[in-house]
């Protein structure tokens, strides 16, 4: 997390080889097991979750999916 946080703080997170940056108006987050979800730091249920945003209003950062 230190590597991600440090690069995020200086605006270089998108050059990390395991970071993928995507855009969208609606995203659905799924996981093999339910994972807690937060919205502005408050509990907002668990995955799966669908999130809709105004275009260009939000950037989301998530760890890469582990290959099986």
Residue 18: what are its φ and ψ, rounded to 5°? Answer: -105, 20
pLDDT of residue 68: 57
pLDDT in tens, the chain (68 residues): 778 888 888 888 888 888 887 777 888 999 999 999 998 889 999 999 998 877 777 777 777 777 65
* Residues 34, 47 contacting (CB under 8 angstroms): yes
Q: Could you tell me where the beta strands, DSSP code E, fall in 1-68?
A: 26-29, 36-39, 42-46, 49-52
pLDDT of residue 55: 73
* Residues 21, 14 contacting (CB under 8 angstroms): yes
Overall pTM surpassing 0.85 (yes/no): no
Which three-class secondary structure state does DSSP give residue 54? Answer: coil
């Amino acid at each position: 997390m230190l590597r991600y946080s440090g690069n995020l703080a200086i605006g270089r997170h998108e050059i990390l080889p395991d970071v993928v940056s995507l855009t969208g108006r609606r995203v659905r987050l799924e996981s093999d097991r339910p994972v807690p979800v937060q919205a502005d730091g408050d509990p907002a249920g668990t995955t799966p979750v669908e999130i809709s945003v105004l275009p260009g209003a939000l950037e989301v950062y998530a760890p890469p999916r582990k290959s099986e």
